[in-house]
């Protein structure tokens, strides 16, 4: 009975952190949506600087510029990571309702959530998004501490 009661308390604590992670994810998504123009402007500036740095007698291939712009754009795009955070939270909530041993699965989901927040931090240049991603990592660590007490 004591273990079952403790399990219910742990689930409540974990669900509270998951709710905070969803709130963080929504805020990151909104900031990212509003930063597309800023990202495009930054890319354009980088392309212009690169073109100016190259001597006029050095041929520039349009396909090379396009390739570099695409690479820069892909590096700045965190939409996939945002979607994965949401997906991992949904899967974690689902797992909490399962019977049996769920500790290892929850630990794996914590690892995946942490990985997504790390990637968001490494891709973004917006300090607000980085701060939110770090807050997300903190919530994941809180969950991970509780998961250590679950079979």
What tens digit of pLDDT does each residue of 40-72 get?
Answer: 777 778 777 777 766 555 666 767 777 777 777
Q: How far apart are CA 137 and CA 46, in angstroms?
A: 31
CA-based nearest residue to 131, from 19, 37, 31: 31
CA-based nearest residue to 23, from 136, 138, 127: 136
What's the pTM value of the predicted model, to 2 decimals? 0.82
Q: Do 130 and 124 meet the contact criterion of CB atoms below 8 Å apart?
A: yes
Residue 3 scores a pLDDT above 90? no
């Amino acid at each position: 009975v004591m273990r079952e009661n403790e399990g219910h308390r742990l689930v409540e604590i974990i669900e509270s952190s998951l709710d905070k992670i969803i709130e963080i994810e929504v805020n990151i998504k909104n900031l990212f949506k509003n930063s597309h123009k800023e990202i495009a402007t930054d890319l354009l500036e980088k392309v212009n600087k690169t073109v100016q740095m190259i001597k006029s007698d050095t041929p520039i291939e349009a396909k090379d510029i396009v390739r570099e712009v695409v690479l820069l754009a892909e590096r700045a795009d965190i939409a996939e990571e945002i979607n994965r955070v949401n997906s991992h939270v949904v899967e974690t909530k689902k797992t909490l309702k399962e019977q049996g041993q769920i500790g290892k699965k929850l630990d794996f989901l914590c690892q995946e959530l942490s990985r997504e927040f790390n990637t968001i931090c490494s891709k973004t240049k917006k300090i607000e998004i980085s701060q939110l991603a770090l807050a997300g990592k903190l919530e994941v660590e809180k969950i991970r501490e509780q998961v250590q007490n679950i079979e």
